[in-house]
């Protein structure tokens, strides 16, 4: 009788642990970390970025999610960090498109207007 109760208790604890672990990983990357590679110069507010790969991520995902950081791939250099606005994906925009650009004069870096999260209808709009 005692062995059966012990077996059920251990089994229940293992099941709950497995469910909690599975649920936590289902939420994925709350920072929405995205690696973007550009083949021409682009810009974020006040900063021109040379062609290359950059890491975009939300700094405060557990609160307002309004601060975005743009750094190099391995996060050893931060190029920009600032406040952004919540924005909705424009109707007709593909769900795998993650960047929308603004207009710029010829021979100047193209400004990144907004960064959208893959497969989601929301994103962050840069404040210029």
Residues 10 and 67 in one domain: no
Indicate the pTM of the whole model. Answer: 0.76
Per-residue pLDDT of 32-80, as tens digits, reads 999 999 999 999 999 999 999 999 999 999 998 899 999 999 999 999 9
Q: Is residue 17 very low, low, confident or very high in pLDDT (cuts 50, 70, 90)?
A: very low
Q: Calculate ∠ Cα 20-22-24, nearest 5°.
A: 70
Residues 60 and 111 in one domain: yes
Task: Tell me: do 23 and 39 sit in the same domain.
Answer: no
Question: 66 and 20 in one domain?
Answer: no
Check whether residue 60 and residue 113 sit in a common domain. Answer: yes
Same domain, 55 and 71: yes
Which structural domain, as residue segments, surrounds residue 19? 1-28
Instruction: Please name which of 70, 123, 117 lies closest in space to residue 96, comparing C-alpha atoms.
Output: 117
Total domain count for the chain? Answer: 2
9 and 67 share a domain?
A: no
Residues 14, 55, single domain; the answer is no
Whether 12 and 75 map to the same domain: the answer is no
Question: Are 41 and 67 within one domain?
Answer: yes
């Amino acid at each position: 009788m005692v062995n059966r109760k012990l077996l059920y208790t251990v089994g229940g604890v293992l099941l709950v642990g497995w469910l909690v672990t599975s649920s936590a990983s289902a939420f994925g990357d709350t920072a929405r970390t995205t690696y973007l590679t550009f083949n021409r110069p682009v810009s974020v507010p006040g900063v021109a970025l040379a062609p290359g790969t950059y890491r975009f991520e939300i700094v405060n995902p557990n609160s307002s999610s309004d601060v975005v950081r743009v750094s190099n791939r391995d996060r050893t250099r931060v190029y920009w960090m600032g406040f952004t606005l919540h924005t909705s994906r424009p109707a007709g925009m593909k769900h795998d498109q993650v960047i929308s650009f603004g207009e710029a004069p010829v021979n100047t870096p193209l400004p990144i207007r907004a960064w959208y999260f893959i497969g989601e209808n929301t994103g962050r709009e840069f404040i210029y």
